[in-house]
A and B are shown apart, each in its own frame.
Chain A
Amino acid sequence: MLKLEHVTKYYGEQVGIEDLSFSVHDGRILCLLGTNGSGKSTTFRLLLGLLQCDQGTISYHGEKLNFQDKCLFGYLPEEKSILRDLKVKDAVTYLAQLKKVEKIQIEKNMTYWLDYLNIEKYRNRKVQALSKGNVQLVQLVCALIHEPKILIFDEPLNGLDLENVALFKRLCWKLKKEGKILLISSHQYNNIEDLCDDVVVLHKGKCILKGSLRQLKKANKQRYITLFDENGDYEDERGVLEITQNNHSLILKMEDEKSAKALLRKYMRQENISYKIEMISLQQLIREALDASTHRILT
Chain B
Amino acid sequence: MQVLIAFSLKRRFLNASTLLLNVLLALIITAAFFADEIVNFINPSLFDEQKVYLQVDEVVSEALMQMEMEGIVFETTDKSAAEIIEEDAKAYVLTHEENYQLITKYPIDETTQLLFNEILTSVHQNLALSEVLQEEALAYSQIQIQVENEAMQKDVDVDPNKQNLIFMIITSIYFTMLSFSTSVANEVVYEKSTRQLELILTSVSAKTHFLSKMLIGWLSILLQLGCTIFFVILAFLLRNSYDQGIGLIELINQLQLIHLEEKTFGALLGSIHVEGAFIFQCIFIFIFLMLGIIFVQMLLSIIASFVNSVEQAGSIQSPFYLILLAIYYFALSINTPYQLSEGIGFYCSFLPVLNMLLMPSRLLVQNVPIIELLLSASISIFAMIILFEKGSSIYQKGVLDYTGKGLMKIMQSMKGEKT
Contact = CB atoms under 8 A, between A and B. Distances in A.
Q: Most chain-A CB neighbours within 10 Å: which of B7, B204, B412, B414? A: B7
B210 to A, nearest CB: 14
A153 interface: no
Contacts of A70: 202-204
A75 B202 contact: yes
Contacts of B400: 45, 50-51
Contacts of B3: 94, 97-98
A50 B393 CA distance: 11
Nearest to A71: B203
A54 interface: yes
B105 interface: no
Contacts of A77: 195, 198-199
B213 to A, nearest CB: 15
A231 interface: no
Nearest to B412: A12
A5 B311 CA distance: 41
Contacts of B4: 98
A92 B350 CA distance: 47
A51 B194 CA distance: 19
Interface residues of B, number: 21
Nearest to B399: A50
Nearest to B15: A85
A94 B199 CA distance: 11
A82 B202 contact: no
B418 interface: yes
Nearest to A146: B203
Chain A interface size, as a band, is: 20 to 34
B27 interface: no
Contact of A99 (B203, B414, B417): B203
A11 B199 contact: no
Given A10-B418, A98-B204, A80 B413 contact: no
A81 B196 contact: yes
Contact of B199 (A12, A49, A75): A75
B419 interface: yes
A7 to B, nearest CB: 13
A95 interface: yes
A13 B196 contact: no
Interface string A9-43: 01111000000000000000000000000000000
A48 interface: yes
A84 interface: yes
A73 B201 CA distance: 12
Interface in B400-419: 400, 412-414, 416-419
B379 interface: no
A73 B198 CA distance: 13
Contacts of A45: 400
Given A48-B202, A70-B202, A98-B204, A83 B196 contact: yes
Contacts of A8: 418
A142 B412 contact: no
A151 to B, nearest CB: 12
Contact of B194 (A12, A54, A81): A81
Contacts of A10: 417-418
Contacts of A48: 201-202
Contacts of A278: none
Contacts of A95: 199-200, 203
B203 A54 contact: no
A54 B196 contact: no
A79 interface: yes
B200 A98 contact: yes
Interface in A213-228: none
Contact of A50 (B198, B412, B416, B418): B198
B418 A49 contact: no
A174 B400 CA distance: 32
A10 B414 CA distance: 10
Contacts of A50: 198, 201-202, 400
Contacts of B200: 95, 98
Nearest to B414: A12
A130 to B, nearest CB: 15
B199 A142 contact: yes
Nearest to B416: A12
B417 A12 contact: yes
Interface centre among B196, B414, B416, B419 (most CB of A within 10 A): B196
Nearest to A45: B400
Given A12-B412, A13-B416, A50-B400, A84 B199 contact: no
A155 to B, nearest CB: 12
A10 B419 CA distance: 9
A53 B34 CA distance: 65
A241 B4 CA distance: 59
Contacts of A81: 194-196, 198-199
Nearest to B2: A97
A82 B196 contact: yes
B202 A73 contact: yes
Contacts of A51: 400
Contacts of B416: 12-13
A82 B203 contact: no
Interface in A43-100: 45, 48-51, 54-55, 70, 73, 75, 77, 79-84, 94-95, 97-99
Contact of A54 (B195, B204, B417): B417
A50 B200 CA distance: 10
Nearest to B7: A94
Nearest to A10: B418
A47 to B, nearest CB: 10
Given A12-B413, A77-B198, A54 B419 contact: yes
22 contacts: A8-B418, A10-B417, A12-B413, A13-B416, A45-B400, A49-B202, A50-B400, A51-B400, A70-B202, A75-B199, A77-B198, A77-B199, A79-B198, A80-B194, A81-B196, A81-B199, A83-B194, A83-B196, A84-B194, A95-B199, A98-B4, A98-B204
Interface of B: 3-4, 7, 194-196, 198-204, 400, 412-414, 416-419
Report, nearest first, the 6 A-B pairs whose CB atoms are least far apart: A12-B413, A98-B203, A79-B195, A81-B195, A97-B3, A54-B418
Given A50-B400, A80-B195, A97-B3, 9 more contacts: A48-B202, A49-B202, A51-B400, A75-B202, A81-B199, A82-B199, A83-B194, A95-B199, A98-B4
